[in-house]
A and B are shown apart, each in its own frame.
Chain A
Amino acid sequence: MATAREVAEKAERDDIRSRWLLSTPALLIVFLAALGPLLIVVVYSFLTPGNYGDVKWQFSTDPWVSVLFERDVFDDTLSFATAYLSIFWRSVSLSLATTLLTLILGFPTAYFIATRPDHRRDIWLFLITIPFWTNLLIRTFAMQQVLRNDGIVNSVLQLLGITDHPVQLMYTNFAVLAGMVYVFLPLMVLPLYASMEKIDFRLVEAGYDLYATRFQVLRRIIIPLVTPGIVAGSILVFIPSLGAYVTPRVLGGGTNLMIGNLIELQFGQGRNWPLGAALSITLMAIVMMALLFYVRNTTRSDGAHG
């Protein structure tokens, strides 16, 4: 006869086993789709490049060294190379600028939508998401048509007599920035809208009632309450713009590379897969650090109130 205690223990063991069995599919997907490929990239970054792409199974730290340093062809001495670093720097600063601009443009947009009557909000949200239905490449080429020397912007500028010759807009950092803001704006507006929609607008009235001006209501009531949306939107914009590939390629030309283009170059024409792998991991590390920094800062400022 099994005692009550033994029965309870067996039930608990069964429970644990069935929990493991049930979570197996999820764990499998996480491993195959995320951890596995990542592991391969890490391994590749410590190998030697093959002659025609691919890798030779020969351990080497060269890919990591060349992320920061340049080996002299003649005497093998290492010198600090700023080429990749400057591309990283451009990527980070362009992504930060994109995040900031989408926030500045997206905040009033989301506020506008959130303050419409219920039945009209859907229409505005629909309009915001329409660009998503078009291929990214096509949207980027459309932007090219706008920024070309004989594009809309230059035509209007000349028509108004502001300049007498076309201003070079294409293949500049400005073009890349404009393209990325255009592409990523909906990703900022939607989370902002989601958190603004939840605001009880009687709180705004209460603010006015307690002598807060419009600006003070914005600063002390609305912004603190939509902080989760600002954080989510910023992350959603910053991370993909850091890895943006199509936009800088089409609008920035060959001279305004971003990390995404650099990595693509190593796996394609450069035939240096290990270096591409090392650069990918560096990019991921930057993203992780940015996320950690962001999350820690926002939770701290949140905690300061309590």
Chain B
Amino acid sequence: MFSHSYHLMVRIKLVSRLPPVNDHAGEGNILTAIRPAVEAKGVTRIFRGTGQDSVRALDNVSVAIRENEFFTLLGPSGCGKTTLLRLIAGFDYPTDGEIQLYGQDIAPLPPFKRPVNTVFQSYALFPHMTVAENIGFGLKMLGKPKAEIEARVDAMLKLVHMQELKNRRTSQISGGQQQRVALARALAPQPKVLLLDEPLSALDYKLRKEMQIELKRLQHETGITFIFVTHDQEEALTMSDRIAVMSAGNILQVGTPWDVYDHPAERFVADFIGETNFLTGMVESAGNGQARIALRSGAKICATAAAGFRAGGNATLMVRPEHAKLVKGRGDLTGTIETIVYFGTDTHIHVRLDEGDVFMVRQQNSRSASCGFENGDKVGISIGDDAAQVLKD
């Protein structure tokens, strides 16, 4: 037992002493084929409260994160995404299961023995140190020679465009600059994996957009695996290579942004990501990834469907607002326009269906004409063959 864990520590040390990331980018592809950068295997974390109440923050979660990937854990607050991140960082230990880094179980290791660094939500910059001292802290703790630390700190400052503020105190720089310092500090020791815990949530809208692009650039330039935690679905869609959608301690779906947006695995995912209209109906026929659904209005719609739907069963359909079209006269659905909301790039039109539900249609705006509809208009909604999907509840 002891010799096993000792062996493990040696291995991890070796991993952390590997040459700069670029040097092994070539063999990285082979590694990816064999094993992922980070893999959670059946991870459960139960927080025991006082008495009987305990919270199952993570429930038998398994996920594999590839090398050089921008991977996002997305979900509402309390879904367990931060808990999973803290388990990978080593601030917390799983109740059950393994966390592997390049095939080695790191779950029992303290954070300072893991070649993994974190960008904290609050940045957690050391207030008694300068910008440069903050960035060099990790290297100093690793016992690197002074000259190497200085060179690396300068390179990091350059990477995040902060050279002029090198000797400032962290209290003397703006929120956006603190964010850059936190990034540089976490990247300086060249971790195998960078963990980011909602790092953009404290920034204002414009700065957040800027930092999103900046983060993508940094990830591309450093080639480090990024694991990014956020509750902001838009942020997740624009930045990630792959997204894991989480809810109540479980991972519901892992996929590319396109996968989770256009082919959500279940209703929660469709609802959480983007705006969605849900319709109920009955399956008339199913097979070959397609299903024909009879809606309550009587209209019949073709929709994509996963295996497992049988004719005669109830079904929930989802239609994205931008995939439906408003028509004058009869469509697949009919209703009355309730509100028209102008958003600059597009217009959201809320239609009260004859069956009683509200259905939203998103229409691209043009410069010369209005949307063509008025409040109170009787309209039809046409749903194309490729617009709807049958969902598991």
Contacts and interface: CB of A to CB of B under 8 A. Distances in A.
B122 interface: yes
B117 interface: yes
Nearest to A202: B124
B112 A203 contact: no
Given A202-B122, A203-B126, A305-B128, A210 B141 contact: yes
A209 B16 CA distance: 13
B187 to A, nearest CB: 11
Contact of A206 (B116, B118, B142): B118
A209 B142 CA distance: 11
A174 interface: no
A128 interface: no
Interface string A189-229: 00000000000101101111111110010001100110000
Interface string A153-166: 00000000000000
Contact of B189 (A203, A208, A210): A210
Contacts of B110: 208
Contacts of A209: 89-91, 111-112, 116-118, 186
A224 B129 CA distance: 10
Contacts of A216: 141
Given A213-B112, A216-B141, A208 B126 contact: no
A211 B91 contact: no
Contacts of A25: none
A16 to B, nearest CB: 36
Contact of B137 (A205, A212, A213, A306): A212
Interface string B122-141: 10111111100100011001
Contacts of B130: 305-306
Chain A's interface size range is 10 to 19
Contact of B111 (A208, A221, A305): A208
B169 interface: yes
B268 interface: no
B126 A212 contact: no
Nearest to A210: B138
B126 A221 contact: yes
Nearest to B114: A209
Interface in B280-298: none
Nearest to A211: B141
B185 interface: yes
Contacts of A210: 112, 117, 137-138, 141, 185-186, 189
Contacts of B89: 209
Nearest to B115: A211
B141 A203 contact: no
Contacts of A212: 112, 137, 141
B120 to A, nearest CB: 6
A206 B120 contact: yes
Contacts of A207: 126, 137
Interface string B188-215: 0100000000000000000000000000
B143 to A, nearest CB: 9
Contacts of B122: 200, 202
A219 to B, nearest CB: 11
Nearest to A206: B124
Contact of B91 (A208, A213, A224): A208
Given A205-B111, A305-B129, A305-B130, A211 B142 contact: yes
B305 to A, nearest CB: 45
Nearest to B136: A210
Given A205-B91, A205-B111, A211 B126 contact: no
Contacts of A205: 91, 111, 118, 120, 124
Contacts of A211: 112, 138, 141-142, 189
A202 B116 CA distance: 16
Between A205, A208, A209, A212, the greatest number of chain B beta carbons within 10 A of the residue's beta carbon is seen for A209
A270 B80 CA distance: 76
B138 A203 contact: no
Nearest to B86: A205
B378 to A, nearest CB: 57
A271 B185 CA distance: 68
Contacts of A224: 128
A69 to B, nearest CB: 49
A233 B109 CA distance: 37
A224 B169 CA distance: 15
Nearest to A227: B128
B138 to A, nearest CB: 4
A142 to B, nearest CB: 37
Interface string A71-90: 00000000000000000000
Interface in B137-189: 137-138, 141-142, 169, 185-186, 189
Contacts of A225: 127-128
A225 B171 CA distance: 14
B138 A200 contact: no
Between A210, A216, A306, the greatest number of chain B beta carbons within 10 A of the residue's beta carbon is seen for A210
Interface in A160-182: none
23 contacts: A202-B122, A205-B91, A205-B111, A205-B118, A205-B120, A205-B124, A206-B118, A206-B126, A208-B90, A208-B110, A209-B89, A209-B90, A209-B116, A209-B186, A210-B112, A210-B185, A210-B189, A211-B141, A211-B142, A220-B137, A221-B126, A224-B128, A225-B127
Given A208-B90, A209-B89, A306-B130, 12 more contacts: A200-B122, A202-B124, A203-B124, A205-B91, A205-B111, A205-B120, A205-B124, A207-B137, A210-B138, A210-B189, A211-B138, A221-B126
Interface of A: 200, 202-203, 205-213, 216, 220-221, 224-225, 305-306
The 9 closest A-B pairs by CB, nearest first: A210-B138, A206-B124, A211-B141, A208-B111, A202-B124, A212-B141, A224-B128, A211-B112, A209-B118
Interface of B: 89-91, 110-112, 116-118, 120, 122, 124-130, 133, 137-138, 141-142, 169, 185-186, 189
